Structure 1
Amino acid sequence: MENVQGTYKLVKKASRHTFLIGLVGMTMSTIPYIFLIRAELWKPTMYLSILLVPFFVMSLVLIVHSFYYRVIITENTILLKLPSTNRSFSFDEIRGFKITPSYVYIYSNKKKISISIYTEGIDKIYGWLQQNFTNLDELPQEESDFIKKFNAFSDRLFSNLSEDNTTNFDNNDITSSESYKTKLKRAKYIVSIYNILSFFSIGWLFFYPFIYKISFLSNYKHVLILAVLLTIIGIILPKISTEFINYSSKEEDKPYIRRIFFLLGMSLLIRFMLDVNLLDYYTTILLYSLSIGFFLTFFIMTSREFNFRQLKTYFQGLFFLLSFTAFGYGAIGIGNFLYDESIPKMYKAKILKREMYSGKVILFSLKVEKWHETSDMNKIKISQEKYQQLEGKDSISIYVKEGKFGIPWLIPN
C-alpha cells in the first residue's frame, strides 16, 4: 500500500473567508448588546442572549478554526485537528469515504472525519483515498431508521400513485431509475402538502380581521404557532430529505421551498405592523429579528446545495436573510403582545385628528398630543370599529404593557 504522509491546512483564500465569516458573526452577535445595555433594557438582553450567545460561540470557533485546522496523515493513521476536537482513524478502522461539493467524509464503523475541499492538497488526499479505500458513493445508499420509517409511511400513503413506464434499460438501471423517481415523487408530494398548509396559514394571517368571529379561526395564537412551526419544518425538510428537497436550487426537477419562507415572513411582518402599536422600541425588535435572520440564514447556507464559488449563492443568502428577518420581526412582535401577562399602565391623551388612508387596504389612525413621559409617539393605529366609536370624542385612554420580550406596546381604548 502506498502511504501518503504530510500535514495539510486550509488554503489561504478559504482561511481568510472562514475568518471573515466568523468576524462578521461575532460583530453581529455583539452589536445588539451595545444598544440594549446602553438603554438599560435588561429583559430583551436576557431573551436575546438565548440566541446570540450560541451564535457568538459558533463564530468564535470559526475564527479559531481558520488558524488551527490541520489534516495530518502518518504511516498508519489520519488525524483531523480542530479547535474543538481531534479525531483520528487508523487505516484499519476506515470503512470508506464519500465526496460532496463541500467535504470529503472518511468513515469508520461509528464515526467520521470531515475534510474540507478547501484543504491544501485535497486532490492528493482524494487520490490516496480512491486508491486504498472504498468509495461509498458507488455503493447503495443507506438511510437512517427514522428516514426508513418515514419513507415506508409515505410509500403507503402514496401507494396508489401510478409508476412511470421505463424501457431501454437493463434490470439494475430500471430498479435504480424507479427508486429515484419514487423518492422524487414522494418529495414533491411532501412539498405540495407543505405548500398547501403554508398558503392556508398565509391566508389566515391576511384575512384574520375578517374571519376572527369564526370559532375555529378566532385564536390569534394558533395562526402564529402554525406559521412558526411551518417555518421550522421548512428549515428541517431539506436536511432530512436525502437531497431530494432543496432550499433554493432548481436542480433536476427537485422541489424547493425558498418562496414559502419569504411569504410566511412577510405575512407575519405585515400582520404585526397592521395590528400592533409599539412604544418607540423599533430598534429593540429590529435587533431581535436581525439576530434570528442571521442565525437561520447561517444554518441554511451550510447545506451542500450551496456553492460559495458562485455569485448567485450570495444573492440567495441575502434573500434568506431578508425572509428570516421579516419572519423574526413579525413572530417576535406578535408573540410579544399575545403572550404578555403584564399589568397595563393607563394614560390619557387628547385627540387632535382622526385619520383614514384609502388604498388596497383601508387604515385608520389617531393623531394625539404628547401623552407619555419619554415617548414622542403622536400617531396610533386603531381598528375601523374603534375609529367609529371615537367619533365626536376629544380624548382617549391608552394602556401600555411591558411586552413578553420587554418591548412595550399599547392598546387604545
Structure 2
Amino acid sequence: MTTTKIQPVHRSYGTARGWRIFIYVFGPLLIALFWSAPFWMLSGDWNALRIGFTVGMGLFGLFFVYCLYETAKGRHIITDTAFVYAGTLYRQELPLEAIKGFRTDQQYTHILPTSKAYPKIKVGYTSEGYKEIQQWLAEHYPNLDEQEQQQEEEAILLDDTFGRTTEERETNLTQTRRVASALNTLGWLTGAWLLFLPRFYEAAFTAGLTLPAVAALAILWHRGTIRPDEQKNSAYPNVSVALLMPALGLLLRELLDLELLHYDALWPLAGGAAALFGLLLLLGSRPFLQQPKLRASVLGQVALYALLYGYAATVAVNCVFDEGPAKHHTATVLRKHSSSGKTTTYYLNVTPWGPRRQAEDVAVSEEYYQQVQPGARVRIYEMPGRLGVPWFTVAE
C-alpha cells in the first residue's frame, strides 16, 4: 500500500491536562483509602477473610500507584520513523511504513500494523492531543472503518439482485436506508412511550406489539438488504432498534405494572411466539446467514429479539387485552417498601388473599404508594387472562 510521504517529525503526547489533575488529586486519596482500610477493621485474629480483605485492598492501592506513575510517564511519540508508546511497564514501537491504517471507537483509536510481527497501538481519548493524533493519522493512513464500509457498499452496487443498473441499485439502497431509519426512529419513540409516558395504555402496547412485527416483515420484504443486527462498518441498513426497543419497553412496563399468578401456562405460549418471530427473522436474513463471518452475529441477535419479543408480546396480549370477568379480593397492608435501581419500584406487603396463601408483596404506582399506609385495606382484581394465564392488579 502506498501512503503519503511523511515529513520528519518528533511529537510527544502524555495524558491530557484535565485527566492529569484528576488522577493527581484523587489518586493519592484512593491509595491512602485502600491501604488504610484493613486497619479500620476491629482487632482480632487474622483469619482468612481478614487476610483476603487486606490483600485485596493492597492490590487496589498498588493499581492506583501504577495509574499515578503511568499518568506521569506514559507517552505516545511520533518520530520520523515510528509511532511509539512508552509506558511504565512496556514499550511498543510500530514503524511508520508498517502501519496499515487505523480504526476508532468511543474510547480509543487503534493503530493497526500490516503484519502480526508488529504491535497494535491504541490511543485513548484521555491522551493529550488526541484530536491532533487522529488528524495526523487521517492525513497519512486510511481509516479502515470507512474503507470497510465503502468496500461493502461497492459490493452491494455490483450485485444485480438489487437492481438491473448501478443507478437502480443506488436508488433501492437509498430507499431501503430511509425505511430502516424510519423504523428505528419509531422504535426509539415507542420504547420511550411505553417506559416513560404510558398514557393511552392499550395504544402504547399495540404500538409495542406491532412495530417489531413490521420490522421483521421489512427484513423479509427487502431480503438481503436490511439486516436484523447492528454491526459496525456495515453498509447494509439494519432495524435493530425497531426490533429491540419496543420489546424492551413492553417488558419493562409489564414488570412495573403487571403480575402473573402462575407461569406454567405462559411458557409454552411465549416459546411458540418466540419461535414464530425468530423464524420470520431468519427467513428474511437467509442471505446474511450464508456468509460465515456474519452468521454468529445474526443468529445471536435474532435469538435475543425472538426471546424478548416472544415473552413480552405474550404477557401483553394476555393481560392488557384481557376482557374476562374479574374476581374481587381485599387485603390488609402490613408494610410497604421500595426497590431502587435505574428505576424505583414500589411495593405493598399485604395479607393473604384469594389464591395467595401467605403475605406477599404487590407492586403499585408511586402515587398510590404515598397514599396508602400500613393497616389500610386494598382491593385486588384477579383476572383470568386472555390467553388463559391468570394475573392480578391492585385497584388504585
- Please state which band the TM-score falls in when normalised by the shorter chain: 0.5 to 0.7
> Is 1:192 aligned to residue 148 of structure 2?
no
The answer to whether the 8 Å contact 2:226/2:236 transfers is yes
Residue 315 of structure 1 and its aligned partner are, at CA, apart by: 5.1
- Contact kept, 8 Å, 1:297 with 1:317, in 2: the verdict is no
Pick from 191, 200, 215 the counterpart of residue 234 of structure 1: 215
* Letter paired with 1:193: A
Residue equivalent to 1:253: 235
Supply the distance in 1 between the matched residues of 2:223 and 2:275 (Cα, whole angstroms): 25
The structural deviation recorded for 1:236 is 1.1
What amino acid is the match of 2:237?
P
- Look up the equivalent residue of 2:347 and give its one-letter code: S
Match of residue 379 from structure 2: 397
Q: Distance in 1 between matches of 2:180 and 2:265?
A: 35
Q: What residue ranges of structure 1 are gaps of 5+ in the alignment?
A: 1-137, 144-174, 213-218
Query: Equivalent of 2:273, from 292, 308, 321?
Result: 292
Q: CA deviation at 1:332?
A: 2.1
CA distance in 2, matches of 1:139, 1:329: 38
Q: Give CA deviations for 1:153-200 in whole Å, capped at 9, x if unaligned.
A: xxxxxxxxxxxxxxxxxxxxxx93222211111111111111112211
Residues 1:375 and 1:332: Cα distance change in structure 2 (over 3 Å): farther
Summarize the alignment of residues 372-391 of structure 1 with structure 2, pairs less than 5 Å apart. 372-373=354-355, 376=358, 378-391=360-373
Structure 1 position 178 matched with structure 2 position 159: no
Residue in 1 that maps onto 2:203? 222
Give, as a single letter, the amino acid of the residue that structure 1 aligns with 2:167: E
Query: How much does 1:383 deviate?
Result: 0.8
CA distance in 1, matches of 2:356, 2:369: 26
Give distance in 2, aligned partners of 1:322 and 1:248: 10
Query: What is aligned with 1:146?
Result: none
Deviations 1:332-358 (A, max 9, x none): 222222222222112222322111223
Q: Which residue of 2 aligns with 1:344?
A: 326
Question: How far does the alpha carbon of each residue in 1:348-375 deviate from its partner, in whole angstroms, 9 at most, with x for none?
Answer: 2232211122333121111123223465
1:360 equivalent to 2:342? Answer yes
What is the CA-CA distance between 1:224 and the residue it aligns to? Answer: 1.7
Over the matched positions of the two proteins, sequence identity in percent amounts to 22
Separation (CA, whole Å) in 2 of partners of 1:308 and 1:375: 54
Residue matched to 1:60 = none
Query: Does structure 1 retain, via aligned residues, the 8 Å contact 2:270–2:314?
Result: yes
SS in 1 for 2:330: strand
Tell me which of the two structures has the higher relative contact order, counting C-alpha pairs closer than 8 angstroms and 6 or more residues apart: 1
When residues 240 and 370 of structure 1 are mapped into structure 2, their CA distance, relative to the original with a 3 A threshold, is same
CA contact (8 A) 2:219 2:281 kept: no
Q: Is the 8 A contact 2:381 2:394 kept in 1?
A: yes
In the superposition, relative to structure 1, how do residues 275 and 343 fare at CA in structure 2: closer, same or farther (>3 Å)? same
Secondary structure of the residue aligned to 1:301 is: helix
Q: Which residue of 2 aligns with 1:407?
A: 389
Paired residue total: 236
Alpha-carbon distance, 1:230 to partner: 1.3
2:347 alignment partner, SS class: strand
Q: 1:272 to 1:377 in 2, by over 3 A?
A: farther
Conserved 8 A contact 1:297-1:320: yes
The answer as to whether partners of 2:338 and 2:346 remain within 8 angstroms in 1 is yes
Structure 1 pair 375/260, CA: closer, same or farther in 2 (3 Å)? Answer: farther
Question: Equivalents in 1 of 2:207, 2:337: separation in Å?
Answer: 34
Query: Unaligned stretches of 5+ in structure 2?
Result: 1-157
- Change in CA separation of 1:183 and 1:375 when aligned onto 2, cut-off 3 Å: farther
Task: Quickly say closer, same or farther: Cα 1:329–1:370, change in 2 above 3 A.
Answer: same
- Which residue is equivalent to 1:206? 195
**8 Å CA contact 1:349, 1:368 repeated in 2:** yes
Structural RMSD (CA)? 2.8
Q: Structure 2-normalised TM-score?
A: 0.54
Instruction: Check 1:249–1:177 CA distance in 2 against 1; reply closer, same or farther (3 A cut).
Output: farther
The answer to whether the Cα contact below 8 Å between 2:219 and 2:227 also exists between their aligned partners in 1 is yes
